[in-house]
Amino acid sequence: MSPAAVSTRLACAGRVLDLSHPQVMGILNVTPDSFSDGGRFLALDNALRHAEAMVIAGATLVDVGGESTRPGALKISDEEELQRVAPVIEAIAARLDVVVSVDTSSPAVIRESARLGAGLVNDVRALQRDGALQAAAETGLPVCLMHMRGEPQTMQQLTHYEYLLAEVHDFLQLRIRACEAAGIPAGKIVLDPGFGFAKTQEQNLSLFKHLDCLQKLGRPLLVGVSRKSMIGAVLGREAKDRLCGSLALAALATTCGVGILRVHDVAETLDVVRMVGAVMAAR
C-alpha cells in the first residue's frame, strides 16, 4: 500500500497538526457503557488525569466522547451528552497543550464544544443528523467524517455490500461534497473508513487491506481500530488483552500514510509510529 499525496496541515482552533506522519489521538470516553473503558472516566478529575497522561505520553489530540456508539448502544439526549463532555472539554482546553476533539453527532454539542475550546468535530454519522452540517460549518472547525450505515442499534444488520470499497469511497465522497456545499472546505476534512460500523469481520479486514483506495479521495485518513472486535476475532482475546493486535494494525496504517491513529494506548502506539517511520525514512 502506498500513500497518495494529500494536503498535510490541519488547522484546529489555533493549533496546526502536520498529518504528513501519523498523529496519535488518545481516546477519552466519558460514558458508562463504552466497550473498552466505559465508566472509568466519568468523574472530571479522573478524566482530566487520563487526558494529561495521554498528552505526556505524546498524544496531540484527545477525543472526548459522551455517547457510546458500540453495536447496540442506545441514543442519549443532547442534555445528557453535554453534561458528560462539556466540563471535560473545557478543562482540557484550558489546561493542556493538545487539540481537543469532540466525538459527537449532535448540533448542540458541536456548537457548545467549539465554544468551550474544541478544535475538531469527529462524527461517526458524518454530519448527517439534522442540523449537524450547519452547526459544524458555523464553528469553522475541521471535521472527521466516518462511514456508517444506520444507527448503532441497527448497523450490524446493514452489512450487505455489492462492492464494499467502492461504496465506502462513494459515501465519503458524497459527504465531502455536502460539506463543501455547506461551507466546510476540503482542506478541513478528515475521513474515517468506520471499522466495526456496519461491517462484518471479513469486510473490516478487506477494507483495512485496501486503505490505499480511500487515499484517492485526497484527504487524510483517521483509523480507529484500537482494541476492537476485529482484533478479538482474529486473536481470540478480550478487549483488555488486544494491545499487540492494535499495535500491529497501527504499524500497517503507518505504512499506508494514515494521518491520525485513534487509540487507547498512546505511548505504545507512538513507539510503533516512530519505529516504522525510521525504517521508511532509511536510505
* Active-site residue list: 228, 262
Q: What pairing do the DSSP bridges indicate for beta strands 15-18 and 9-12?
A: antiparallel
142, 12 contact by CB (below 8 A): yes
Letter for the amino acid at 80? E
- Which residues are CB-neighbours of 141 under 8 A, at least 6 positions away? 12, 13, 114, 118, 119, 120, 121, 188
CA distances from 281 to 220, 261, 275, 278 (A): 20, 19, 10, 5
Rg (CA), the chain: 17
With b meaning 16 or more CB within 10 Å and e meaning fewer, what string describes 72-103? ebeebeeeebbebbbebbbbbbeebebbbbbb
